[in-house]
Amino acid sequence: MTPMDIERWQSTVRRPADFDEFWEGTISASEKVAADPKFDRLPARSTEKVDVFEAHYNSYGGIRIAGWYCAPRRPKVQLPGILVVPGYVSEPMLPKALASQGYAVFSAAPRGKLRSNKAFNPGYPGLLMHNVTDRDSYGYRGFYMDALWAFDVLASRPEVDAGRIGVQGSSQGGALTLLVSALRPEKVKAASAGAPYLCSILDAAGMTHSYPYQEINDYLRLHPKDAPQLRATFDYSDIHNFVGAIRCPIIVNIGLKDDVCPPATGFAVFRAIGGRDKKLYPYEDCAHDAGTGVGHGRIVSEFMASHLKPQPVS
């Protein structure tokens, strides 16, 4: 595709008529599970300025989910919060550096990640196609709820100002950032989504042979008759169908040479974002890093600080 073709490309995703009903039911089912969050301080990982905790909470289906929580020690005022959501293969980061900037940070480990893989572990590759012919038991249904509940757990912390919480992540983390921002439109203060995955899912599989999307091509090579059912399932989980609900200030960055998450799908999902306060950063010579290697991290840091107003740890 030419740069102009990439910018103008149109997604083939269709929003099911009962899309909202399906996810409202999923959220309602999750709410019936007591989150029971536990935070255990880890002295060996903590410092004089930053406390580090191993966190756990219950999520959709009663699965116990893990994560890292880091915050300035003994804050004198309520802290802004940041939810950091992980990529497809990478494990959740230990966010001590962000905490030292004055944030309370929850680094989520949805089911299958880190210490959250005892009851659910389809592997990587594997998650994208887990029960893919059944929307009700599809792996990302619970995975999405894990990310959403991580936001709520962070917001419930007494030292956190629930009116100043942002979300950030790249690749799968970019997808989850868009998801949480859409499902908590009145609560997310600011968001930064890099190289978003899970956008125009079947279209993306036709544009790349890189994993994770190659999992779809591998599956259809063996089960070509399942293509209609795959589309039906993906239409319920495609991030493109969520983002119209986003209202917070948001930035999105993509690499125009990305062979993992095709840039055309990034342009399309950005156009679909419902809020007006949005900005796209396309990086001409970057691939899946989407500008991280040429300074986009500073843009994210300044953007979050401008909206969340942290007080760096002295």
**Using CA of residue 150, residue 154, residue 157, residue 163, what is the dihedral sign?**
negative
pLDDT in tens, 100-153: 999 999 999 999 887 778 888 888 889 999 999 999 999 999 999 999 999 999
2 pLDDT above the threshold of 90: no
Residue 96: how many CA atoms within 13 Å on its side-chain side? 13
Question: CA distances (Å), 167 to each of 74, 147, 306, in order?
Answer: 23, 10, 14
For the sheet with 250-255, list strands across it. 38-41, 50-58, 64-72, 104-109, 79-84, 160-170, 188-194, 250-255, 278-283
Question: Could you tell me if 307 and 166 are in contact, meaning their C-beta atoms sit under 8 angstroms apart?
Answer: yes
* % of the chain residues with pLDDT over 70: 100
pLDDT in tens, 152-199: 999 999 999 999 999 999 999 999 999 999 999 999 999 999 999 999
Whole-number Å distance between alpha carbons of 252 and 281: 6
> How many helices and strands, by DSSP H and E, does the chain display?
10, 9
Are the C-beta atoms of residues 146 and 108 closer than 8 Å to each other? yes
Secondary structure letter of residue 257 according to DSSP: T
Tell me what the mean pLDDT of segment 203-232 comes to: 96
Question: Could you give the C-alpha distances from 85 to 171, 178, 193, 223, 284, in angstroms and in order?
Answer: 10, 11, 10, 32, 25
C-alpha dist (Å) from residue 176 to 182, 198, 237: 10, 9, 11
Q: What pLDDT was estimated at residue 121?
A: 85
What stretches of 213-295 show up as alpha helix (H) in DSSP? 214-222, 227-237, 263-272
Is residue 281 within 8 Å of residue 252, measured between CB atoms? Answer: yes
Whether the CB-CB separation of 279 and 291 falls below 8 Å is answered with no
Instruction: Say what the pLDDT of residue 245 is.
Output: 98
Question: What does the pLDDT read at residue 120?
Answer: 85
Cα dihedral 287→293→298→304 (10° resolution):
40
Domain ranges of the chain: 3-306
Fold of 3-306: Rossmann fold (3.40.50)
C-alpha triplet 295, 298, 303: angle, nearest 5°: 135
Average pLDDT of the chain?
A: 96
Which residues, 6+ apart, have CB-to-CB distance to 240 below 8 Å?
11, 13, 199, 200, 265, 268, 269, 272
The identity of residue 83, as a single letter, is: L
CA angle 147, 126, 288 (to 5 degrees): 70
pTM for the full model? Answer: 0.96
